[in-house]
Chains A and B, each alone.
Chain A
């Protein structure tokens, strides 16, 4: 059965090169839904921990402002964590795995960022 979250996430798979996406609670690490290749989207708990660690270290280094995204690149894949803010409630993370050959990282990140608000609709 497709849930409302999964249905929203599935729409993001249209973006070129996006292989898998997951919607994760940025605080608890709970995964609310996955679309596409779940392996490529990475585990929720790890995503949340990674993002929390980065926020903490950036804070120690004197950086200010909420986290926007974490981008990891490798020879074959890109992994993007995008912060999803909501009107009320704890922040979420959209984790997206991309095929490096097919995805233009800048464009794909931009388009995911533009569409991220749709996920909660």
Chain B
């Protein structure tokens, strides 16, 4: 069984980096809107980037790798959510104070130390995801901790940084990014690598996420939420290593549910690669750097992939991998092989992938004769494998170099890598870039350091509500435990808290309406974008007996924009509550008319206008 003992034996180490977008109105270093809805693209700019030496005069291995890919980057620029700062055409403005305040609030939630001065840094990124070729990032706290299931997980550092841009597409030598989201403030929470099992990693991630969502700013009786909600607003990176393996970062996990699977697979992948290394060494495997051009041999082949590329003036290069036969195709993860790993590296040069001799070569339209001729030309003997790349010359040569680099690593190490999700269902990953080292940090000389005085921290923590307090407040206010728990996890929690701070004594009605009715309307495709003060108005009318509980949902259905709207909807849709004397009269009339099941008949006629409880009581009293 894969329990804690199993992972301990493997020398399993695992740490998390949780990135969460903050809910500030503006970006971290400019005044662009962080609301990306309904924005308009206004143009594109195309840029090239190169690696520059970091603060210590060394070019980081991840940045020099990216630079050697020599790609160009295209940025889609948007009207409201991007400005000159975002496309590196204007220096950063002053730091967003709200974001700093939130970061400090979170630092206190994790009991972390806040330095006396926060120093904005540049973290070099040359994958193009930032037009400035760096991401602004600052360490806002360190040496924190978190309790999860009775264990203390050290929080090594907390950063405030800029969101990168989103990738839109990729074609040949250029990558297209959207800069609308770039510069939105992110908080990054890093744990130390003491997580003991994949399952625990998911629990820690869940707890960190909950802490970020529920640590809030007190505004009178209400609490304001500090983080964005929704798809893509929180991302989990996992660092995994085992003995004999290496640290690998799996980036961009969005769902906690599948986190354990990804980690289990990464452990498995490293185990397989270690085994593979042993086997290859035993077979005296060698990566033959002497590549051969095979264009002429493939000229007459009919397979679409090869023919297409060659007809566009491409070339074919081949290389022998001595002693690799059978190993390129052996599965190391579900549907992932050493061949896929090598292919990932080659793809970084813009090619579609590699063809290798452990594959079914017929599917590329290669005849038995051709395969033999290729083998002869490359000097392939029994036990050897070969790889083949078809693309235009420049790409092809670069891709072959990357591929052979990776093949050679199979003989010496599990390469330290940053990996991205390959298949979210299977929980598999693919190579993204070499794992960055420490040489890619240098000071952001365009932004001023931020002095953090202790009275400033105090003024923030005084207005902070922390996770445990908030949960117990919610649960204390709701007699129903299950509803209480649901409310804690609900994205409507801040709204709930706001409403019950204004309208007293109807907590359960508010909670169930937000948890059930709102969801129901959303599912029905109804716009439920109602301001919180209109919600207060609606629940206020319920509280005063003007409408029924069923009437609340009905008013919501028409998405009122103001209190006046609410009045209009109630009138137009005849949602006024019938109660007291009037209700009594109606019951009497119906009884006089010989009505049998009074309650049922009344409810079927006036479902939205009558409060069932009142009716029950009335009918009961008459009996």
Report if A and B associate in a common complex.
Answer: no
Binding site for B on A (CB under 8 A): none
